[in-house]
Amino acid sequence: MGKVKGFMEFQRALPSDREPLERIKDWREFHLEMPDGELQKQGARCMDCGTPYCHTGFLLSGMASGCPIHNLIPEWNDYIYKGFWHEAFDRLMKTNNFPEFTGRVCPAPCEGSCVLGIIEPPVTIKNIECSIIEHAFAEGWVEPKTIALRTGKHVAVVGSGPAGLACADQLNKAGHSVTVFERDDRIGGLMMYGIPNMKLDKTEVVGRRISIMEAEGVTFMASTEVGADYPADKLLEEFDAVVLCTGATRPRDLAVEGRTFQGVHFAMDFLRSSTKALLDATSPAITAEGKDVIVIGGGDTGTDCVATSLRQGCRSVVQLEIMPRPPLDRQADNPWPEWPKIYKVDYGQEEAAAVQNGDPRRYAVMTKKFLDAGTGALTAVEVSDVEWVNDEGRFIPRPVSGTEEILPAQLVLLAMGFIGPEESLLQQLQITQDARSNIKADEQSYKTNKQGIFAAGDARRGQSLVVWAINEGRAAARECDRYLMGTTCLP
């Protein structure tokens, strides 16, 4: 695959981004395109490694190693190197319903397990993937397909995030009539309101795919919450099968003094408010404008909060992370092909550094309490350094005495992850949950305890990656199709 010894001739290169101080003035995507000739060089770096790990898609040390949807990465890298764009597009679509999503927002576990990454920077798999699908759209290769034969079966998919959309797309291709229920006013779930526009454009990217699915026959019911607007008990009366793809949307809270003060919000409420205001051309319900912002949490959602705060015109932004700063290189206890737990600068931190002359992140810091001036409105946050100590076999953070500090803040955003799916609908349907509160569904059949009801995505496996959600949506569609027809041709 690729050019023989191409990895020795060409260095890893990514397309340029718009300058941070320029791009924070708008909400447009900030990545620029790479010329085809340069992309061919990057494809040439795929090294014919014999046993590729990039598309393995299994868990190592609790993290994804390789692509969970098993993209045929070496094959389309080779096609790009040779200039065979349509062949690369065909290979990409065999495994991935939405490469325009994963090519933008997936953290690329495939690159973390690239064999070349043992000795050199890995192949730019994520950028090549995104370039293939955008090239295909530009050439007119991505068009709605006519479903030749309908089965007469009707399936309800609850939730229009990546798992729900992938499931609906596959079931529709199998000939079933699919209705997707979404409680928000727009289709897309996490990809619509949980990821900012500059990272994933809502109209040009998400809306473009939804339009294709509609043209192919999928029915979308926005502003329709099953269990509230649509009675839960009607699902199995009106549909032959149901797939629950509701996500893990219960955020992890922070139980410290002052939590109820005005100005302390969950990150997703802030991000949703920002995107909705952008799309509706209104003012956001929660704004960072003119405020000192503290983001608690160091993951992708925290990064998105930093970038959004800058675009809204915050006065300052600090991102707190309770874990120590990661090392610059892999450590002995984090070998290839595990996901590399190393220090990285994402787009939000890059932008904050350009504005504030430094990385906004502070590591090994604990939030002790929120402060006000007696009015109930947030004015500051008290923090302290922590050290991680071994407590009977498990490491826990312990405050370091004398390191307490008061940080000004009028807006705090809690971006500490999610603890499971919302339970109202599950209780109405009498769906069994596991010890972590996720929907209990078999890992092979995706069946719940209720006949004809399946589950997939974060609602089943817990908070995870977009690419895992697509994997689960596809697999649940396959098993749902088998349940309806006795056999299945879905992969």
CA separation for the pair 436, 484 (Å, rounded):
30
118 lies in the same domain as 11: yes
Residue 1 has pLDDT above 70, yes or no: no
In a domain, 294, yes or no: yes
Examine residue 145 and state whether it is found in any structural domain, yes or no: no
Split at pLDDT 50, 70, 90, the class of 255 is very high
pLDDT tens, residue by residue, 286-329: 999 999 999 999 999 999 999 999 999 999 999 999 999 999 99
Let me know if residue 148 belongs to a domain: no
Whether the Cβ atoms of residue 376 and residue 261 lie closer than 8 Å to each other: yes
Q: Do 425 and 408 reside in the same domain of the chain?
A: no
Quick check: 92 pLDDT over 80?
yes
Task: Tell me what pLDDT residue 134 has.
Answer: 98
- Residues 265 and 411 placed together within one structural domain of the fold: yes
Confidence class of residue 216 from pLDDT cuts 50, 70 and 90? very high
Q: What is the pLDDT of residues 342-358, one digit of tens each?
A: 999 999 999 999 999 99
* Domain CATH code at residue 129: 1.10.1060.10
- Of 230, 216, 54, 36, residue with least CA distance to 143: 216
Q: Which domain holds residue 304?
A: 253-416
Please check whether residues 327 and 258 belong to one and the same domain.
Answer: yes
**Both 270 and 368 in a single domain?**
yes
Contacting residues for 124 by C-beta, under 8 A, at least 6 apart:
12, 13, 14, 42, 45, 111
Question: Who contacts 415 (Cβ-Cβ below 8 Å, separation ≥6)?
Answer: 267, 295, 296, 297, 299, 301, 302, 305
Mean of pLDDT values over 228-242? 96
- Could you tell me if 238 and 115 lie in one domain? no
> DSSP 3-state assignment of 337?
coil
How much helix, strand and coil, in percent to the nearest 5, is found in the chain?
35, 20, 45
Domain final residue, candidates 373, 401, 416: 416
CATH code of the domain covering residue 260: 3.50.50.60
For residue 83, the number of C-alpha atoms closer than 13 Å in the C-beta half-sphere is 3
pLDDT tens for each residue of 419-450 = 999 999 999 999 999 999 999 999 999 999 99
Residue 144 lies in a domain: no
Is 292 in a helix, a strand, or coil? strand
pLDDT number for residue 3: 86
Give a yes or no: residue 147 inside a domain.
Answer: no
Is residue 491 in a domain?
Answer: no
From 366, 389, 416, the end of a domain falls on 416
Residue 95 and residue 128 share a domain = yes
How far apart, in Å, are the Cα atoms of 453 and each of 162, 331, 431, 489? 19, 44, 9, 20
pTM of the model: 0.96
Judgement on whether residues 280 and 362 belong to the same structural domain of the protein:
yes
Q: Are residues 410 and 315 in the same domain?
A: yes
Rounded percentage of the chain residues whose pLDDT exceeds 70: 100
- Is the domain of 382 the same as that of 298? yes
Q: Number of folded domains in the chain?
A: 3
Take residue 29 and report the two structure tokens written for it: 């995507």
Verify that 201 and 259 share a domain, yes or no. no
Q: Average pLDDT of 370-379?
A: 96
Q: Tell me the range of 1-10, 53-62, 284-293 where mean pLDDT is highest.
A: 284-293
Residue 412 lies in a domain: yes
| Percent of the chain surpassing pLDDT 90 | 95
Same domain for 170 and 208, yes or no, is yes
- pLDDT for the residue numbered 2: 76
Last residue of a domain, one of 75, 104, 139: 139
pLDDT at position 63 is 87
Report yes or no on 347 lying in a domain: yes
